[in-house]
Amino acid sequence: MTPSRRRLAVLAAATTVALVGASAGTAFADPPADPPEQIRNGDFSDGSSPWFSYGTNSLGVVDGQLCATVTGGLANPWDAGIGHDALPLIAGAEYTLGFDVTATPGGAVTAVLQLGSEPYTGYYSVTAAATPTQQRVERTFVAPNDDDRAQLIFQVGGSAEAQTICLDNVSLRGGNPREPYVPDTGPRVRVNQVGYLPGGPKNATIVTEATEALPWQLQAASGAVLAQGTTTPRGIDPASAENVHSVDFSAYRTPGRGLTLAVDGEISHPFDISGTLYDQLRSDALQFFYIQRSGIAIDGDLVGEEYARPAGHLDVPPNQGDTDVPCQPGVCDYRLDVRGGWYDAGDHGKYVVNGGIATYQLLSTFERTKNAATAGFGAALGDGTLRVPERDNGVPDVLDEARWELEFLLRMQVPAGNPLAGMAHHKIHDRNWTGLPLQPEDDDELRELHPPSTAATLNLAAVAAQCARLFAPYDTAFAQRCGTAAKTAYTAAKANPTRYASPTDGNGGGAYSDDDVTDEFYWAAVELYLTTGERTYLTDLTASPHHTGDVFDVRGFAWPSVAALGRLDLATVPNGLPAAELTRIRASVTAAADDYLAEIGRQAYGLPMPGDPGSYFWGGNGNVINNAIVLATAFDLTREERYRDGAVQTMDYILGRNALNISYVTGWGEHAAKNQHSRIFGNQLDPSLPNPPAGSLAGGPNAALQDPFAEQLLAGCAPMFCYVDDIASYATNEVAINWNSALAWLASFLADQGDAAAVPAPTCAVTYTNYGHWQGGTGFTAQVTIRNTGTATVNGWTARFAFTGDAKVREAWMADVTQSGATVTAKNESYNARINPGGTVTFGFNATTGGGANPSSGLVTVNGGACAAS
Ligand code: 9MR
Ligand code: 9MR
């Protein structure tokens, strides 16, 4: 029996029980005079959200009513339904359920209040004989159980004929006034529960009534006092509406474990001071992607048996996808094999726009290792560093992981010979929303391709272009496939520049609509330019308003606003822009970073995000981290420590220095989120399932309260409190690939900082001279000169740099040169090991290339230290 059949059989039995068990008028408590409304958007004035359907052919608002069409001849009433989740029921309290209903031509509609997951225990139900003439049904009953997340389903299946069913003015009033929800915020001293880097900033926030400075003590695990001082009163923090003080104990730099901060009679959660805090977070955050993979069995030997599961969506029943997927009716007449990729989030949908930014950030995590002085050419991200099936294949594992999604994104491209060839379908997902929990292999919904969109096409163009340059050293055929797809997509997007995904196409999957794709055009042009060096992309990117516009919003960037991705890459990936242009672009990154630092200074919790409700939105943790990525990039560009400090402080917020005293990353910190909304990691609903794996980031506080659970629980919350670690709250507490990709990038940066010691002044300067391409363009000759600008004699040297694309050293002189991937390592010969202060050595090489941009390397290190370019 498939899980959904099991669920429906139980539901049928429960319905009968509920009809017998519930009767009106036996209230145990006096109903309040004005009983509260529990249903959200019951008059559908706000579209169809948060309503959903299953087993129907369509769901939408028509003339102000919520209407669904249902196929005739479904075996059971419960084979199709329209529903609302997260209704709070209080045992013994009285409720009135009311709704207007029509059915055309006419049939039974049963409203069932039930447990929202297996065994779908029924609490109450009522059946209406619905006709084309609207009738109002209203019943009063007493709830038999407590349930914070009850589900209301209108069962609309089982008629012999197809039906159109419409609902209006759905209402569930009743319940005693609820106790206001008071989250457990633990000790009033808020710290980064994971810890602090020895040489980095160390800040904490204290919630207190006190208005005068208070003494603080940093304590060892033994209780011994390691440092002390006084707090800085900060007044009422607008984001949390609490009176707070801050503490800066940065001056204490000694590594230790289990430290605490004591202030105002409270002791913080324990934390470490260590230079290796983030090494494991880097791999945990990246490991999330393997566990989210579609179309492959997850291997328990790699990630632990609790996360092992069969492959999802390979057309093994009851799955209906993803190897031969039709379009939504009327959208196309072909079918595509779109297997693979990652599940986007807590749902089983796969969306090209969000897959785009997530893939970009994994690829960028890798690309940074070629251009950032602290990233050491990627040893920590190399082959064999992650627990993925492709480990030990000679390709860095983070690239293997990104490729899993890249292959899916390429499959979403409309094949040649079809209308809109070269564009990418916006998304593929279930026709109807499924319930929670649900393992991918158990999903029996029809999967459909949604119309191609310009935004999706440009996401494909951008990341396929990145793919082309980054995979070139490892897999020429794949890199070329990416390069061709990128160009084809870009051309198709230019021919179809305004095909927007519909904001109302959101049943069974997220809409991911976006009606401004100028930023996607800019990003794609940048990536294509960086990869190919071709003038046509340079012309386009230069003409974009985003090339000179302010792309670094104070509230961060995310999937709908990607101009920042282009700007960051122009600033960091070597390219042929004129020096003055590069200077301007890099200055725009540092200017944005300065703004974020100023914001960090204003926020008592030290995050780079303003404190108003508009700054706390769906997935805001991703935007907060993306602002830290701008700070980190500013550090990579300038090596100015204040930018690194800003990135560290942002992580403090994510890992516990916040009003809820919670780490938003599963498994990290004393008190961490663990019930994120996910069909796979449904432990809160089914204890036999795991929680999300360590390293899973929650979306975070969302003052707009966009799911019914958060809305009923958190009404009136101050912005930073608008979060609940409950699986029902998808608008505050989901996992998603684009948030985890941001976390992975930042964790990797922080891991690279080690102790965060003072940045050493360079003791070398290099000149990298490319003498130009040979005739026929098959290669080039280059020379590197290293000058010792320090005061000590260098005795033996190893220089490193990386090519941007496919270049391969063929032969070298005056150094012993080897190459791994794009990274070139040059060691001195016996005769030129010594470089006196002020002296120089030079080596040269011939390299072959199949084409593409071939700018001078942006970073050369000597004996591990970054050299100044000269
Ligand atoms: O699980 C879905 C989550 O991934 C989405 O972010 C969210 C908004 O689109 O919707 C969730 O699905 C819910 C649906 O919208 C309404 N019915 C219940 C679904 C699960 O809670
Ligand atoms: O991250 C998305 C957020 O920016 C939107 O406001 C929200 C509502 O449209 O959707 C979020 O994305 C969800 C997607 O629609 C469906 N899969 C889960 C995503 C994360 O919640």
CA 336 to centroid of ligand 2, rounded, Å: 25
Is-contact 145 89, C-beta < 8 A?
A: yes
Assess whether pLDDT exceeds 80 at residue 17: no
CA 434 to centroid of ligand 1, rounded, Å: 8
Q: What CATH number is given to the structural domain containing 80?
A: 2.60.120.260
Question: Is residue 588 domain-resident?
Answer: no
Q: What CATH number is given to the structural domain containing 316?
A: 1.50.10.10
Q: Which of 131, 146, 174 is the last residue of a domain?
A: 174
The arithmetic mean of pLDDT across residues 246-273, rounded, is 98
The pLDDT assigned to 548 comes to 97
- Residue 279: CB atoms within 10 Å: 17
Q: Is the CB of 557 under 6 A from ligand 1?
A: no
Domain count, the chain: 3
- Residue 10: CB atoms within 10 Å: 18
Fill in the amino acid letter for 207.
V
Where are the alpha helices (H) located in 200-347, listed in sequence order? 279-291, 300-303
Question: Is residue 579 domain-resident?
Answer: no
pTM listed for this prediction? 0.93
- pLDDT band, very low/low/confident/very high, at 30 (cuts 50, 70, 90): low
| Closest residue to atom 6 of ligand 1, CA basis | 730
Task: State the Cα–Cα distance between residues 680 and 689, nearest whole angstrom.
Answer: 8
Beta strands 868-869 and 764-773: pairing type? Answer: parallel
- Residue 300: CB atoms within 10 Å: 12
Q: Is the CB of 344 under 6 A from ligand 2?
A: yes
Provide the angle, in degrees to the nearest 10, between the axes of the packed helices 352-371 and 279-291. 150
Assess whether pLDDT exceeds 50 at residue 848: yes
HEC sequence for 663-682: ECECCCCCCECCCCECCCCC
Q: Are residues 331 and 459 in the same domain?
A: yes
Contacts of 402 (CB under 8 A, 6+ apart): 359, 362, 363, 366, 467
Proportion of the chain above pLDDT 90, given as a percent = 92
CA 650 to centroid of ligand 1, rounded, Å: 29
What are the residue numbers of the active site?
Answer: 347, 677, 725, 734
Phi-psi category of residue 106: left, alpha or beta, with phi > 0 → left and psi -120 to 50 → alpha: left
The pLDDT assigned to 32 comes to 56
| Closest residue to atom 20 of ligand 1, CA basis | 435
Tokens of 143: 């709830």
Distance of CA 746 to the CA centre of its chain: 12
| Closest residue to atom 16 of ligand 2, CA basis | 510
The pLDDT assigned to 33 comes to 67
Each residue of 111-144: pLDDT tens digit?
Answer: 999 999 989 999 999 999 999 999 999 999 999 9
- Say how many residues make up the chain: 870
Q: Are residues 343 and 482 in the same domain?
A: yes
Tokens of 247: 């503490």
Fill in the amino acid letter for 451.
P
Mutate to test the pocket of ligand 2, among 354, 557, 709 (most ligand atoms within 8 A of CB): 354
Residue 577 C-beta-side C-alpha neighbours within 13 Å: 26
Question: Is residue 61 domain-resident?
Answer: yes
The arithmetic mean of pLDDT across residues 324-331, rounded, is 97
Q: Is the CB of 85 under 6 A from ligand 1?
A: yes
Is-contact 860 784, C-beta < 8 A?
A: yes
Cα distances (Å, whole numbers) of residue 744 to 138, 273, 398, 593: 51, 21, 10, 20
Each residue of 606-629: pLDDT tens digit?
Answer: 999 999 999 999 999 999 999 999
Instruction: Give the DSSP per-residue string, 265-304.
Output: TEEPPPEEE-TTTTHHHHHHHHHHHHHTBSSS-B-HHHH-
Phi-psi category of residue 671: left, alpha or beta, with phi > 0 → left and psi -120 to 50 → alpha: beta
Each residue of 180-192: pLDDT tens digit?
Answer: 899 999 999 999 9
408 closest CA partner among 462, 353, 470, 352: 352
Assess whether pLDDT exceeds 70 at residue 601: yes
Cα distances (Å, whole numbers) of residue 128 to 85, 153, 155: 21, 13, 10
Question: Is residue 628 domain-resident?
Answer: no
Question: Is residue 366 domain-resident?
Answer: yes
Question: Is residue 536 domain-resident?
Answer: yes
Q: Is the CB of 852 under 6 A from ligand 1?
A: no
CA 731 to centroid of ligand 1, rounded, Å: 9
Q: What CATH number is given to the structural domain containing 858?
A: 2.60.40.290
Q: Which atom from ligand 1 is nearest to the alpha carbon of 510? A: 9
Each residue of 511-543: pLDDT tens digit?
Answer: 999 999 999 999 999 999 999 999 999 999 999
Q: Which of 119, 154, 174 is the last residue of a domain?
A: 174
CA 452 to centroid of ligand 2, rounded, Å: 19
Assess whether pLDDT exceeds 70 at residue 712: yes
Is-contact 164 103, C-beta < 8 A?
A: yes
Q: Is the CB of 52 under 6 A from ligand 1?
A: yes
Tokens of 746: 């930042």
- pLDDT band, very low/low/confident/very high, at 6 (cuts 50, 70, 90): very low
Q: Mean pLDDT score of the chain, rounded to an integer?
A: 95
Q: Which atom from ligand 2 is nearest to the alpha carbon of 619? A: 1
Q: Are residues 393 and 530 in the same domain?
A: yes
Cα distances (Å, whole numbers) of residue 180 to 702, 712, 713: 18, 10, 8
Question: Is residue 226 domain-resident?
Answer: no
CA 730 to centroid of ligand 1, rounded, Å: 6
Provide the angle, in degrees to the nearest 10, between the axes of the packed helices 518-532 and 563-572. 20
The arithmetic mean of pLDDT across residues 441-464, rounded, is 98
Q: Is the CB of 784 under 6 A from ligand 1?
A: no
Question: Is residue 646 domain-resident?
Answer: no
Q: Which of 174, 202, 217 is the last residue of a domain?
A: 174
Q: Which atom from ligand 1 is nearest to the alpha carbon of 346? A: 4
Assess whether pLDDT exceeds 50 at residue 1: no
Each residue of 777-833: pLDDT tens digit?
Answer: 799 999 999 999 999 999 999 999 999 999 999 999 999 999 999 999 999 999 999
What is the residue range of 301's domain? 294-508+518-540+563-573
| Closest residue to atom 17 of ligand 1, CA basis | 52
The pLDDT assigned to 112 comes to 98
User: Is residue 295 classed exposed, middle or buried when 0-12, 13-18 and 19+ CB atoms within 10 A define those classes?
Assistant: buried
Mutate to test the pocket of ligand 1, among 46, 115, 677 (most ligand atoms within 8 A of CB): 677
Assess whether pLDDT exceeds 50 at residue 549: yes
Task: State the Cα–Cα distance between residues 324 and 317, nearest whole angstrom.
Answer: 13
Mutate to test the pocket of ligand 2, among 512, 561, 727 (most ligand atoms within 8 A of CB): 512
Task: State the Cα–Cα distance between residues 72 and 69, nearest whole angstrom.
Answer: 10
The pLDDT assigned to 9 comes to 34
- Residue 592: CB atoms within 10 Å: 24
Q: Is the CB of 730 under 6 A from ligand 1?
A: yes
Task: State the Cα–Cα distance between residues 371 and 377, nearest whole angstrom.
Answer: 8
Mutate to test the pocket of ligand 2, among 52, 344, 436 (most ligand atoms within 8 A of CB): 344
Q: Is the CB of 511 under 6 A from ligand 2?
A: yes
CA 733 to centroid of ligand 2, rounded, Å: 11
Proportion of the chain above pLDDT 70, given as a percent = 96
DSSP-derived secondary structure letter, 757? P
HEC sequence for 848-867: ECCCCCCCCCCCCEECCEEC
CA 246 to centroid of ligand 2, rounded, Å: 34
- Residue 792: CB atoms within 10 Å: 10
Q: Which atom from ligand 2 is nearest to the alpha carbon of 734? A: 21
Assess whether pLDDT exceeds 80 at residue 42: yes
| Ligand positioned closest to the Cα atom of 513 | 2
The arithmetic mean of pLDDT across residues 152-172, rounded, is 97
